[in-house]
Amino acid sequence: MTRSWHSFARCLALATGLALNTLPAQALQGGTPTSSFVVVGELGGASGVLIADNWVLTAAHVAESLSAGTSSFTSLQGSSLIAEVQRFSNEDFPANDIALLRLATAISGEHALLNDTMISASQVSSLGPLTAASAQNQAPNGYALTTAVESSVQDDIDEGENTVNWLITQGATVQGGDSGSALFLGQVTDSAGAVLLGIASARIDFDDGQPSLSAYTQVAAYKTWIDDTLGASGQRAAWVSAVPEPSLPILLIAGGLIAGIAARRGHRATR
């Protein structure tokens, strides 16, 4: 069966630490244990990514369970209590599933580079291999290769429209505890110089036995909010333009795929 974005309705399962006890001990499916990816750290059973001395980026549904003054962020570069939790103003899972955490104590060293350009559906096929990295259930981090298969700014899981700004991947499926973890551009084994494309938001499951997919909230969609939030404390994130422009043949192929998906919009996954 063709897997289009509109076939995903009502097939989504959260990749949240609340379901950790019912999922495999190894969080990132197919992940390799590593002591690299030092910008990825642990957040009370989930993950987050250090983007400045005092700021961590994570999923909004992860931030819901965190408390300023008691919860902490721990990475290979250090640990700090969380001083402030800022979820995106229009967040309502799965919509706008992104949050910022201000740390009480600065963690200096390596910070993630953020992609500043939204990845459109026509660019997905030109991305090549991507790398997922989590801070959960491996020693101490885990990473694995994955591939983008779709880009969407809307979902139809609930009635009405939800702004998700998701990049959808297959392979290295996120499991419980991986929410808030990182999706990097390219085939990388370390976060040094790697470009952060997205933050793990959800796992998409299919009732008909198709392999699960993973959904990552694209950081580029929230550049203004991230810059304004960090700027209020005198800090800033590092942004880079790292997504290739699609070639003409890719654009033509993408146009054909979009037309095909539009023709099949009435068909939903078998439950």
| The pLDDT value given to residue 245 | 64
Question: What CATH number should be reported for the domain holding residue 72?
Answer: 2.40.10.10
CA neighbours closer than 13 Å in the CB half-sphere of residue 103: 25
- What domain range includes position 245? 5-263
Whether 205 is covered by a domain: the verdict is yes
Whether 269 is covered by a domain: the verdict is no
Q: pTM for this one? A: 0.82
pLDDT along the chain (271 residues), means of 10: 38 39 44 88 94 97 95 96 95 92 97 96 93 81 91 70 90 87 95 96 85 93 97 96 64 45 29 20
Give exposure, 50-81, as e/b (b: 16+ Cβ within 10 Å). Answer: bbbbbbbbbbbbbbeebeeeeebbbbbebebe
Whether 22 is covered by a domain: the verdict is yes
Q: What are phi and psi of 51, to 5 degrees?
A: -115, -10
DSSP 226: H
Strands 195-204, 213-218: pairing kind: antiparallel
Whether 271 is covered by a domain: the verdict is no
| The pLDDT value given to residue 204 | 86
Whether 206 is covered by a domain: the verdict is yes
119 near 167, Cβ under 8 Å? yes
Alpha-carbon distances, residue 247 vs 96, 202, 203, 252, 254 (angstroms): 30, 30, 30, 9, 10
How many domains does the chain fold into? Answer: 1
Whether 255 is covered by a domain: the verdict is yes
| Dihedral sign for Cα atoms in the order 247, 249, 251, 254 | negative
Whether 79 is covered by a domain: the verdict is yes
Whether 175 is covered by a domain: the verdict is yes
